[in-house]
Amino acid sequence: MSLAAPQSLRTAWAASDDPAVLARILEETVHLVLWTRARPKGLDWLDKLDFSEIDDVQESLALTDPAATLPAALERAGYPAGVRAAVLAAEIASLARRFVRIMGGDTVRLRLDIVETDACRKFHMDNVTARLLMPLTEPGTQWIEAGAGAEAPINHVAAGTVGLFKGRMWAETPAILHRSPPIAGTGAARLLLVLDMPPLAPLEAAQP
Tens-place pLDDT, residues 113-124: 999 876 777 899
Checking if the pLDDT of 1 tops 50, the result is: no
pLDDT of residue 69: 83
Most confident of 4-18, 44-58, 194-208: 44-58
Residue 123 CA neighbour count, 13 Å, CB half: 19
pLDDT of residue 187: 75
Contact 62, 196 (CB under 8 A): no
Greatest alpha-carbon span in the chain: 48
Using CA atoms, how far apart are residues 49 and 159, in angstroms rounded to an integer?
A: 15
pLDDT of residue 14: 98
Identify the structural domains of the chain with CATH numbers, from first to last. Answer: 11-199 (2.60.120)
- pLDDT band of residue 9 (cuts 50, 70, 90) is very low
Neighbours of 54 (CB within 10 A): 18
Chain segment 129-177, per-residue pLDDT in tens: 999 999 999 999 999 999 877 778 899 999 999 999 999 999 989 999 9
- pLDDT band of residue 85 (cuts 50, 70, 90) is very high
Using CA atoms, how far apart are residues 80 and 92, in angstroms rounded to an integer?
A: 16
Q: Using the 8-state DSSP alphabet, how is residue 146 labeled?
A: T
